[in-house]
Chains A and B, each alone.
Chain A
């Protein structure tokens, strides 16, 4: 059997969490957590270096029997789509540790344990090739996330954590039912690859499609099941927000890509117009909500709804450009919105205010901070030359091919994005100085810069030279399209 690289990547954070429990000193805890996450990230780079971009087949696969009687195996493997998100998760992992360095000052050990547990489970979700194993990781993620929001969150943390838990649990229950139905209709196996090859009757596909839709839509989140998101984001500590926006929201979209499209191709094609419309609704509605916010965190949270609308829009165009753009936008949103939450956290640590009205003229007080904030703001509004523009252009181009009206609505969302993001930046960074004078604000320090720089690199790298990223996902996307269109009867 080959070297179990994926198991290592998934379980190193878990092992790290176990080690942390033995430590007593907060600084030791921080440095150990950082070491573990950096090691995990290094392994991911090794993984990408050995990743074969010429095939859509699952790579680095590991299979061990687990519960043979039920056909449950411990199976891991990645294709181009999951590889990108394993990488993103590991990247944000150590950035989260850095972002919590001083922001978390009580129960540091418990926090870092939750963070590492969360990371292990998220990586597990992206690597799992067995539906049951996937479900275990998927459900277990709820616990550390609930704890991170509920213990280290803001004043309304208990309400927010509970709301988050209820919404996702409700979605997950439907998912569980779907999994069981799939198990019995799909030849009593949990093997994801085998299930993809099944040709289910359209009626079953339809029911499963809606069960999955609700489960995944809550995670994305799509309008109208999005209301947990702003609460969770506002209350969560910075690292929690980064994980939520950077990785957790991607799980829903990943669910569509891994289950709905390949396993339920007929239903996916049949309901694609519905999904496109829901996505366009999320884009515009999320944008309008963001426009009305005074709270920085809420603004970024609502912008996520709009941006994730672009992701689901791209996915359900069911054409090459749309899908590639949607997946690239998932990665871009993780980088950019993760960075924006980091920036909100950084300034909150200094001023203890998230209200845009309190700010103004920050450029004078913290030039480096505002310069990088400009970069990520522009990236979020998809300025040409940044990562999101490439994704947005692909998604829109795919959307116009699929449905002109939906494409036009999405463009309206892009305009709204420019409005609320530039408006936010103008009020915070420019204009007459307000809070920058009242408080002595120090600019970013070296630790914070280390967390910011890699994200900035990806903004420009994907923006100008997205080829390596498109090469990774390319074969898998093309394969996914053949699965949808040949099995779904389209084209």
Chain B
């Protein structure tokens, strides 16, 4: 199938970029400024969705802008993998944009213009990365994403904010200016190009296995946004950001950019054949299994709800990588659709944490006893999203975990099936007590009547909870895309 040449990939990025500018211009006209983000989000989603039929049919949408260096273009190519990431990001931006307005207004946050501008710019970077046709273009958007999310992390501009944001930048920039840079230069040296090639750019390259292995691990740790241990510490640190940021960016756009890059490397830079040939698949699988279990144990010990969610994210991201490196088609499909399943559920959980904070000012789980009676919608959605995280049918999390489990059996690696099961038990152990305490815990003192649902915050989180379940019942869209990647 011939690629469709279209300007739409660029348009999708431009919509969000222009939205960021518009927000800055409308600095003093609050009502108008707040209208920009939801409208841009809807426009972006429409553009992304308009390309879906082509991609679902196995085609690609291409746009080559200009040559940067010999063998390196500034170019977009919308394929199935990029479509998964872009659909999730742009769809959830609509919800998050509305939620942000409710959250920021309710808390009367400062610097809202900067907040909304950076937020829109992050989405431009995320979707630009999703549609990038080569490593160079991808890395440009990857770095822009680090930069524009930085002001969102230090948003509160207090001691905690500066420390957390510093760690954020040190990890992300440190990884990309060292091992990632080396990996890019070595790839360009070995292959003479940085294009994504089905089957692998480096597949036919004659180089020593040792060097290839080094390049591979440079990518795995260089894309620190994927938060494979020990490159995970920035993620809990980033929780100092306002909750909408943690929700859309540090559960969806930023972290998914990380795993997306890792999947690109596995599928389209090395190719599954080469990864297998070098014996890197199983090695990575053990590495990420350690992350899956370790992060879950960390999550168990955290009383701060957002910190618990952050460690849960670290753990869940490694599911996605695990699916890819098991190298069995079923597991790969599982990993890819987990991008969507985790996004829908985790954004709900973060939205709930923000809703609780807005309504009651509470951050610690131990203080949340009985809060479910005051915030039934919020805590109901929290429960539904928890079930998806644990992998209970009929949620989205069940579908992806099912494929992952089946895939590890297909790959003949029962050890990872055990990892998945143990981690599901751990998920249950750190998520269910939150719901239990919220609904059945006894309050030490009754919450004031001011603790009640805030419509503009609650409606989005109910919507994402519904999305989590719908994905379990109608997984067809993402399954088709994932099978398109694996094919």
Find out whether the CB atom of A418 lies under 8 angstroms from the CB atom of B182: no
Quick check: A400 and B186 within 8 Å, CB to CB?
Answer: yes
Total chain B interface residues with beta-carbon distance under 8 A:
30
Q: Is B422 an interface residue (CB 8 A)?
A: no
A69, B188: Cα distance in complex, Å:
52
Q: Are A385 and B189 in contact (CB under 8 A)?
A: no
Q: How far is the CB of B465 from chain A (nearest CB, A)?
A: 37
| B39: Cβ under 8 A from any A Cβ | no
A131 contacts chain B at the CB level, 8 A cutoff: no
Within the complex, the shortest CB–CB distance from A386 to chain B, in Å, comes to: 9
Residue of A381, A382, A415, A417 with most partner-chain B CB within 10 A: A415
Within residues 371 to 423 of chain A, which ones have a CB less than 8 A from any CB in chain B?
378, 381-385, 390, 392-394, 396-401, 404, 407-408, 411-412, 414-415, 417-419, 422
Which chain B residue shows the least CB distance to A378? B147
Q: In chain B between 282 and 315, which residues have their CB closer than 8 angstroms to a CB of chain A?
A: none
A396 to B182, Cβ gap below 8 A? Answer: yes
Complex Cα spacing A431 to B154, Å: 9
Chain A residues whose CB sits within 8 angstroms of the CB of B144 once the complex forms: 385
Contact of A418 with B174 at beta-carbon distance under 8 Å, contacts A411-B182, A466-B68 already known? yes
Is B343 close to A, CB under 8 A?
no
Given A396-B185, A467-B67, A422-B178 contact (CB < 8 Å)? no
CA distance A381 to B179 in the complex (A): 15
Contact mask B181-207 → A, CB, 8 Å, 1/0?
A: 110111011000000000000000000
B76 to chain A, nearest CB (A): 14
Task: Return the contact of A411 from the options B140, B178, B188 (Cβ within 8 A).
Answer: B178
Residues from 159 to 180 in B contacting A, C-beta threshold 8 Å: 162, 166, 169, 173-174, 177-179
Docked CA distance A392–B188 (Å):
12
Interface presence of B1 (CB below 8 A):
no
A383 in contact with B143 (CB, 8 Å) = yes
- Is A185's CB within 8 Å of the partner chain B? no
Contact A422 B68 (CB under 8 A): no
Does A426 lie at the interface of the complex (its beta carbon under 8 Å from any beta carbon of B)?
Answer: yes
Interface of B is mostly: helix
Separation of A422 and B67 alpha carbons in the complex (Å):
29
A431 to B174: give the CA distance in the assembly, Å: 20
B69 touches A (CB below 8 Å): yes
Set B67, B166, B177, B188: member contacting A414, Cβ < 8 A: B177
Beta-carbon contacts of A7-38 to B below 8 Å, as 1s and 0s? 00000000000000000000000000000000
Given known A-B contacts A400-B185, A431-B162, A415 and B69 have beta carbons under 8 A apart:
no
**In the docked arrangement, what's the CA distance between A415 and B221, Å?**
14
Interface residues as binary, B55-82 with A (CB distance below 8 Å gives 1, 0 otherwise) = 0000000000011110000100000000
Partner of B181 from A392, A426, A430 at Cβ < 8 Å: A392
Given the known A-B contacts A394-B69, A467-B67, are A422 and B173 also in contact in the complex, defined by CB atoms under 8 Å?
A: yes
Q: Does B119 contact A (CB under 8 A)?
A: no
* A271 interface hit (Cβ, 8 Å): no
Instruction: Note all chain B residues with C-beta closer than 8 A to A399.
Output: 185
- How far apart sit A47 and B370, CA to CA, in the bound complex (Å)? 78
Contacts of B157 in A (CB 8 A): 432
Question: Is the CB of B322 closer than 8 A to any CB of chain A?
Answer: no
Among candidates B66, B68, B177, residue contacting A417 with C-beta atoms closer than 8 Å:
B177
- A270 lies within 8 A of chain B by Cβ: no
User: Which residues of B sit under 8 angstroms from A390, Cβ to Cβ?
Assistant: 68-69
Please name the residue on chain B nearest to A431 by beta carbon: B162
A401: which B residues are within 8 A, CB to CB? 189
Interface residues of A in 35-85 (CB under 8 A from B): none
What are 17 pairs between A and B in contact, CB < 8 Å?
A: A321-B188, A383-B143, A384-B142, A385-B143, A392-B181, A397-B189, A400-B186, A407-B185, A408-B182, A411-B182, A411-B185, A418-B174, A426-B166, A430-B154, A464-B74, A467-B67, A467-B68
